[in-house]
């Protein structure tokens, strides 16, 4: 799960773990918090780094990806639209593209 140390991602991870699913979190902690992983394995890395995503998927044995690593500040997106595009669009494509190659 990308962004699993943020608010929404950590709640999703918690629900998945309660339902007995394995969860591994990939988060760069730019907006998330290590403590929010609540004991789930946490890989500190950026969703835009394909090598990190590929390694995390391979090492975790993931069979599915949930993406919560999006930037969400409207004012920030107006100041840096290219950065938001790279993170929110390209980053979202990295994990499933890497997983299913």
Range 13-39 average pLDDT: 95
For position 50, what pLDDT does the model report? 87
- Which superfamily does 7-99 belong to? NAD(P)-binding Rossmann-like Domain (3.40.50.720)
Instruction: Output the pTM of the full model.
Output: 0.86
Task: Give the phi and the psi of residue 47 in degrees, each rounded to 5.
Answer: -65, -20
Span of 23-27, 69-73, 76-80 with lowest mean pLDDT: 69-73
Q: How far, CA to CA in Å, does 98 sit from each of 31, 58, 71, 87, 90?
A: 24, 10, 21, 16, 12
Q: What is the pLDDT of residues 46-65, one digit of tens each?
A: 988 989 988 998 999 988 88
């Amino acid at each position: 799960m990308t962004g699993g140390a943020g608010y929404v991602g950590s709640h999703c991870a918690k629900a998945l773990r309660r339902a007995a699913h394995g969860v591994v979190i990939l988060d760069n902690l730019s907006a998330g918090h290590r403590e929010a992983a609540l004991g789930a394995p946490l890989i500190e890395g950026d969703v835009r780094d394909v090598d990190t995503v590929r390694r995390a998927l391979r090492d975790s044995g993931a069979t599915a990806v949930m993406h919560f690593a999006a930037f969400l500040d409207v004012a920030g997106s107006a100041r840096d639209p290219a950065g938001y595009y790279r993170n929110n669009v390209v980053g979202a494509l990295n994990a499933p593209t890497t997983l299913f190659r």
